[in-house]
């Protein structure tokens, strides 16, 4: 078995048939229930590559009937295995449970509300066979509720990555790719050997991703192999919550592992890598604070961080900057450097006033690209 697709499932019944169809190859929408199971027959794969794929779907005590839909689909397709959790424990636990049951050489953590574009599994399988990496980094597109798509922010980084296998020391910039687990395929034995399980809560992907980037032989596939659904109501990453402060705890684990690797003389942990990881952490904090809206003023839109927590969140960003900045770190030029300088100076009011203007500048620039 080449690829085990691990599918955490909670509250996504409206999207689950489409997700399963995109992975397993059914036409979808069969029957009055919309179960995706054709009457009286098993689901055929779309192409030969999909014969070498299994799906481990983990029903995380979903309240909307996802478990029943999965069981019905599994009766018709032996490639689908369903695990039912006795209570909801979050996507991290679901991924761990799916990994424990997986048998493929590689594991792909696909979210139950997302899609794999046509031909994605074939493209991924080809890259895995060619490079045999510990970690394959893939490109994706953002999928909006109205059907629009948008290229990923990291497409250029993937195209610029070295050919074949490489380490993070050879391409520190790839640390700026999304920290999500779904944008990567992990060699299963390598991932288990990291002894870095997914943690509870939000931002649980960050320590696992960074551990793999630091330890692995990497490969990059600059082709779109995933459609990430943006702005889905009910998604953790579209919900205002104090839970987003967990991003600091996630990177605390990353800085801890980075320090231990440096102390052990790991050749991957170069000065450039330390600076890249540091800057990635600070910019990730900033992106969480910026996501959704500014939250300030009488007409401020709600963001991921609750309005009353924004000042405290920013001061924590500053504290993390001061605590972890490498001795030889230099601020980058341009708008990125200006933003980091405000965080370094703990200039909250100036930062909040400048952020909407910065977002407008980025939006206008992307409009004319």
C-alpha distances in Å from residue 134, one per residue of 149, 161, 216, 274? 29, 16, 5, 21
Residues 49 and 121: beta-carbon distance below 8 Å: yes
Tokens of 177: 């790719």
Closest CA to 49 of 121, 143, 130: 121
Distance between the two ends of the chain, CA-based, in angstroms? 42
Give the model's pLDDT for residue 177.
97
Write the CB contacts of 349 (distance below 8 Å, at least 6 apart in sequence).
none
- CA 48 to chain CA centroid, nearest Å: 28
The domains found in the chain, sorted by start residue, are 3-237 (3.90.550.10), 240-367 (no CATH)
Give the model's pLDDT for residue 187.
98
Whole-model pTM: value is 0.87
Give the model's pLDDT for residue 6.
98
Give the model's pLDDT for residue 270.
98
The tens place of each residue's pLDDT in the chain, 369 residues long, gives 899 999 999 999 999 999 999 999 853 332 223 333 333 334 344 344 445 899 999 999 999 999 999 999 999 999 999 999 999 999 999 999 999 999 999 999 999 999 999 999 999 999 999 999 999 999 999 999 888 999 999 999 999 999 999 999 999 999 999 999 999 999 999 999 999 999 988 899 999 999 999 999 999 999 999 999 986 555 555 567 788 899 999 999 999 999 999 999 999 999 999 999 999 999 999 999 988 544 443 334 567 899 889 999 999 999 999 999 999 999 999 999 999 999 999 999 999 988 766 655 444 333 322
> What's the number of CA atoms in the CB half-sphere (13 Å) around residue 127?
30
Give the model's pLDDT for residue 294.
44
């Amino acid at each position: 078995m080449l690829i085990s697709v691990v599918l955490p499932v909670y509250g996504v019944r409206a999207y689950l048939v489409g997700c399963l169809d995109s992975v397993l190859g059914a036409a979808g929408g069969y029957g009055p229930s919309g179960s995706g199971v054709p009457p009286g027959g098993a689901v055929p794969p779309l192409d030969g590559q999909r014969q070498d794929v299994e799906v481990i779907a983990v029903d995380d005590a979903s309240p909307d009937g996802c478990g029943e839909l999965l069981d019905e689909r599994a009766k018709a397709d032996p490639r689908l295995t369903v695990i039912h959790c006795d209570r909801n424990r979050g996507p991290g636990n679901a991924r761990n449970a799916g990994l424990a049951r997986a048998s493929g050489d590689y594991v792909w953590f696909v979210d139950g509300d997302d899609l794999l574009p046509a031909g994605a599994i074939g493209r991924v399988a080809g890259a895995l066979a060619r490079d045999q990496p510990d970690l394959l980094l893939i490109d994706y597109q953002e999928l909006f509720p109205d059907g629009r798509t948008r290229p990923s922010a990291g497409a250029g980084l993937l195209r610029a990555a070295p050919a074949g296998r490489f380490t993070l020391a050879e391409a520190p910039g790839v640390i700026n790719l999304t920290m999500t687990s779904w944008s990567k395929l992990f060699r299963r034995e390598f991932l288990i050997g990291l002894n870095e399980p997914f943690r509870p809560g939000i931002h649980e992907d960050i320590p696992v991703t960074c551990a793999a980037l630091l330890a692995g032989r990497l490969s990059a596939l600059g082709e779109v192999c995933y459609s990430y659904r943006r702005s889905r109501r009910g998604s953790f990453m579209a919900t205002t919550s104090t839970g987003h402060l967990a991003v600091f705890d996630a990177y605390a684990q990353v800085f801890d592992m980075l320090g231990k690797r440096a102390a052990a003389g790991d050749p991957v942990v170069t000065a450039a890598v330390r600076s890249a990881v540091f800057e990635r952490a600070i910019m990730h904090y900033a992106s969480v604070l910026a996501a959704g809206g500014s939250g300030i003023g009488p007409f401020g839109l709600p963001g991921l961080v609750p309005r009353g927590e924004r000042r405290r969140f920013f001061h924590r960003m500053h504290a993390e900057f001061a605590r972890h900045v490498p001795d030889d770190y230099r601020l980058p030029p341009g708008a990125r450097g200006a933003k980091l300088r405000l965080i370094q100076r703990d200039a909250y009011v100036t930062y909040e006033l400048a952020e909407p203007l910065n977002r407008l500048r980025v939006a206008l620039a992307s409009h004319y690209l």
